[in-house]
Amino acid sequence: MSETLDARRLLCPLPVIRTQDKVVTLSPGARLTVIATDPGVLNDIPAWCRINGHRVLATRQEGREIEIDIEVGGDES
Amino acid sequence: MERQIKAVALISGGLDSMLAVRVMQEQGIHVEGINFFTGFCVEGHTHAIRKRDQKKPKRNNALWVAEMLGIKLHIIDIVDEYKDVLLHPKHGYGANMNPCLDCKIFMVKKALEWMEKNGFDFIITGEVVGQRPMSQRSDTMPVVANQSGAMDRLVRPLCGRNLPATLPEREGWIRREGLYDFSGRSRKPQMALARQYGFTDWASPAGGCCFLTDEAYSHKLVDLWQSRSSRDYDLDDILLLKVGRHVRPAPHFKLIVGREEGENNFLEGYRKEFIHLRCESHLGPLVLIDGDPNVEEMRLAAAIAARYSQGRMADSVEVSVHYRDGREERLTVAPLDPTQMPPEWML
């Protein structure tokens, strides 16, 4: 099952915080698509995923909108 | 099997917390980081907003530090709770609106709550005795430990040998001789330790990460409170103080003038909540008006907007005024001569 998080208009680190808070509620293997407008997410969300054991599956950018697909890892704490 | 001892570290993204964590990792401690978002953090926002900064790498230093150290990082939104720290600091402000001592007490207290909830054993900070004029003095560092409630579970690995032994030392979880005795404002010991650990890159050391230590920002914040006769704010207020030129021609209204394309794009997001002005006959900034000017004052606001447009040397500039209820009117004004803008208007 895939869920979507709307983080448009939020400036970093808020999109990361919202992603973190959402991921905590999801089970390992679940997928989350984050939609954001701050280009900072292109670095910050993958970095957050790497250090917390999640996987970025895909990143798309169209105009000012950025979508990042994440697969929740098995060790969220 | 021996229990793994775990510590939570306050990670600012600067060198000191980075070193403090590494010192504890060297002693076999499992460390995870915690980073607090107050809304006043310098990182991120201005880089995201200003077009001219958009070519710089946009890295969140706390995340970057965590990755370099191989630790997890938990970023906590404390915007709402932080209001009480800023508005009612028990220990007062520093040179500007920075309540550094209360801020550190609050953050250690929040780290303590996190530590207890997650079954960790102690807290680490990158504090160094004598490094900061308010929160890192020999007489205020015990205040942080005591008033946060962390007491002897607060370890400062970079200067721990200058301080009384903490619980982790007494319990044998960490070795006192593996701690450091740094003190004072010199950065040389930190630089040397960084080289020893092979760190070649770090964010600007020792502070500079909070807008509340900035004189100009603090001035705008105080102006905001005075104009509203209320010491209150929300996240949008404090973000807008970071953006554009703020011009206050009268106590009951001010203009927020985008300085470049990135700021104009950011201000566009607020156009439904504010009266806003656009220059129609020439290229010019988006201008938000915080407050309610009367008819005559609106002409003044339009003349100020025109002064920042490419029509600043023209005889007249056409400016559209967009009201919150959707009405629009057009004004033709002469751009205000800079000599007619008293310095005290500029926040």
A1-43, pLDDT tens digit by residue? 689 999 998 888 999 999 999 999 999 999 999 999 988 899 9
Chain A with chain B: Cβ pairs closer than 8 A: 74
- Does the pLDDT at position B251 exceed 60? yes
> What is the DSSP secondary-structure string of B294-308?
-HHHHHHHHHHHHHT
Helix (H, G, I), strand (E, B) or coil at B54: coil
Burial of A75 (0-12, 13-18, 19+ CB in 10 A): exposed
Q: How far apart are CA B314 and CA A15, in angstroms?
A: 43
The first and second tokens of residue A50, run together, are: 């790497």
Q: Chain B within 8 Å of A46 (Cβ-Cβ)?
A: no
**Preceding omega of B335 cis (within 30 degrees of 0):** no
d(CA B221, CA B238): 8
Please determine, looking at this structure, whether the domain spanning A2-71 carries the CATH number 3.30.110.40.
yes
Q: What are the boundaries of each domain within chain A?
A: 2-71
Average pLDDT over residues B74-92: 94
Q: Give B67→chain A minimum CA distance, Å.
A: 6
From CA B86, how far away is CA B94, in angstroms rounded?
11
**Cβ-Cβ contacts under 8 Å, A52 against chain B:** 72-73
**Per-residue pLDDT tens over the stretch B288-346:** 999 999 999 999 999 999 999 999 999 999 999 999 999 999 999 999 999 999 999 99
Q: How far apart are CA A18 and CA B117, in angstroms?
A: 20
List the 58-77 stretch of A: residues with Cβ below 8 A of B.
64, 77
Residue A1 to chain B, least CA–CA distance (Å): 25
Say if residue A76's pLDDT is above 60.
no
pLDDT tens digits, B97-137: 889 899 999 999 999 999 999 999 999 999 998 887 666 77
- Specify the higher pLDDT residue, A53 or B53: A53
Taking the Cβ of residue B115 and every Cβ of chain A, the question of whether any pair is shorter than 8 Å is answered with: no
- A51 chain-B contacts, CB cut-off 8 A: 63, 66-67, 70-73
Verify whether residue A49 is a known catalytic residue.
no
Pair of tokens at residue B26: 């060297």
* Residue A38 forms contact with B (CB below 8 Å): yes
Nearest beta carbon to residue B66 from set A9, A51, A77: A51
Domains and CATH numbers, chain B: 6-211 (3.40.50.620), 243-345 (no CATH)
- Show Cβ contacts of residue B120 under 8 Å, excluding neighbours closer than 6 positions: B6, B7, B8, B32, B114
Express each pLDDT in B204-250 by its tens digit.
644 457 889 889 999 999 999 999 888 889 999 998 998 899 999 99
Predicted model pTM: 0.88
Closest CA to B74 of B23, B40, B31, B125: B31
Residue B68 contacts A, CB cutoff 8 Å: no
- Chosen for mutation from A44, A51, A52, A77 (greatest number of chain B CBs closer than 10 Å) is A51
pLDDT band at B265 (very low <50, low <70, confident <90, very high): confident
Per-residue pLDDT band at B45 (split at 50, 70, 90): low
pLDDT (0 to 100) of residue A39? 87
Query: Rounded CA gap, B287 and B275, in Å?
Result: 9
Using the predicted structure, report yes or no on whether residue B50 has a pLDDT greater than 70. Answer: no
Percent of chain B residues topping a pLDDT of 70 = 93
Across chain B, mean pLDDT equals: 91
Condensed to tens digits (0 to 9), the pLDDT of residues B137-158 reads: 788 889 999 999 999 999 999 9
Q: Determine the residue of chain B that is closest to A38 in CA distance.
A: B48
Please state the ipTM of this predicted complex: 0.91
Order of strands across the sheet that contains B245-250:
B245-250, B253-257, B287-291, B275-279, B317-322, B328-333
What φ, ψ does residue A42 adopt, rounded to 5°? Answer: -60, -30
What's residue B34's pLDDT? 97
Res. B47: pLDDT tops 60: no
Report pLDDT for B117.
97
The 10 Å Cβ neighbour count of residue B74 is 21
Task: Determine whether the interchain pair A43/B59 forms a contact, defined as Cβ–Cβ distance below 8 Å.
Answer: yes
